[in-house]
Amino acid sequence: MTSPEPTDIFTRSWSLYDLLTEYNYMFHKEIYQEIGELLKLRGDQGYYRLLDLGCGNARYLAPCLKQAAPALYEGVDLSEAALTEARGYLADLPGQVILTHGDLLEAMESTEKTWNVIFTGFAIHHLMPDEKIRFFHAAGRCLSENGWLILVDVVREEHQDRESYLNRYLKFMRETWTKVPQDQLEEACAHVHDHDYPECLSTLREMAAGAGLRSTRLISRYAQHHTLLFSRSILEKV
């Protein structure tokens, strides 16, 4: 079982993460505009199934889903407060909505459904390397033949060690997250220092390929914040 500790800061105070996204410090507005355009490229609107791992309150993904509605949306998160908010943001979706309180890796490994899209935003970097490998293998097992794994997350530079990455990211936080109250900023910095274990792109690509997802497409990058699309084969129209 994966420990809930890496997300404890947000299960205790979901409002802190919502504050960070409100000020767009992690480029949510740009990223999710691109996610919306990406989902509209699928030819199965109204029919596809989407699994959202670490869904939070789904505030930013919900508008994307209203443009390209799935037949089934399932969101998984450890924060009950965030899931309560998600019900409101997802209320207008025409398809079935399931919200599950639980651990994302456990949800991936236990699902018996086949998914056309697996989405996860800023969550996988909390997993240890062996857990990330398990995550990709679970994704490879339950994705449909033409399925997509969309991963939004922080990524290390090639040959950059974790300590160097953390020093750079914490500097970025302290210099740019100016509207966050000082005590909450330091709490967020402590969370990043203790629980963030991002990989470099080549490592993520290797993990995905080992699970049968041999195509990796970089959709966008804003500083350390990447949007990646993994699939079994090269996608012509993405």
Do residues 113 and 105 touch, judged by C-beta distance below 8 A?
no
104 CB burial (10 A radius; 0-12, 13-18, 19+): buried
Q: Report the alpha-carbon distance of residue 210 to residue 136 in Å, rounded.
A: 8
Is 156 a residue whose pLDDT tops 90?
yes
Q: What is the CATH number of the domain that holds 46?
A: 3.40.50.150
Domain span at 85: 5-231
Q: Is the dihedral of CA 160, 162, 167, 168 positive or negative?
A: positive
4 falls in which pLDDT band (50, 70, 90)? very low
Classify residue 236: in a domain, yes or no: no
180 occurs within a structural domain: yes
| Nearest-angstrom CA–CA distance, 230 and 153 | 13
Please tell me the predicted confidence (pLDDT) of residue 183. Answer: 87
Q: Considering the domain boundaries, does residue 110 fall inside one?
A: yes
Residue 89 lies in a domain: yes
- Supply the pLDDT for residue 66: 94
What is the mean pLDDT of the segment spanning 203-232?
97
* Of 166, 154, 149, the residue nearest 126 (C-alpha): 154
Q: Which of 70-74, 80-84, 154-158 has the weakest average pLDDT?
A: 80-84
Q: pLDDT tens for residues 165-177?
A: 999 999 999 999 9
Least confident residue range of 16-25, 177-186, 211-220? 16-25
Residues 6 or more apart whose CB falls under 8 angstroms from that of 195 comprise 5, 6, 7, 126
pTM of the predicted model, to two decimals?
0.92
Q: How many domains does the chain divide into?
A: 1
Burial letters 177-195, b for 16+ CB under 10 A, else e: beebeeebbeebbebbeee
Mean pLDDT of 89-116: 96
Q: What is the structure's pLDDT at 21?
A: 85
Is the CB of residue 63 less than 8 Å from the CB of residue 39?
no
pLDDT score, position 18:
75
Which residues are within 8 A (CB) of 38 and not within 5 positions of it... i.e. 6 or more apart?
Answer: 150, 219, 229, 238
Decide: 191 and 13 in contact? Cβ < 8 Å.
no
| Structural domain includes residue 36 | yes
Are 188 and 180 in contact by the 8 Å Cβ rule? The answer is: yes
Question: Would 158 be classed as within a structural domain?
Answer: yes
pLDDT at res. 3: 42
238 located within any domain: no
d(CA 123, CA 56): 10
Flag whether 237 is in a domain. no
Three-class SS state of 173: helix
Express each pLDDT in 118-151 by its tens digit: 999 999 999 999 999 999 999 999 999 999 999 9
Burial (0-12, 13-18, 19+ Cβ within 10 Å), 115: buried
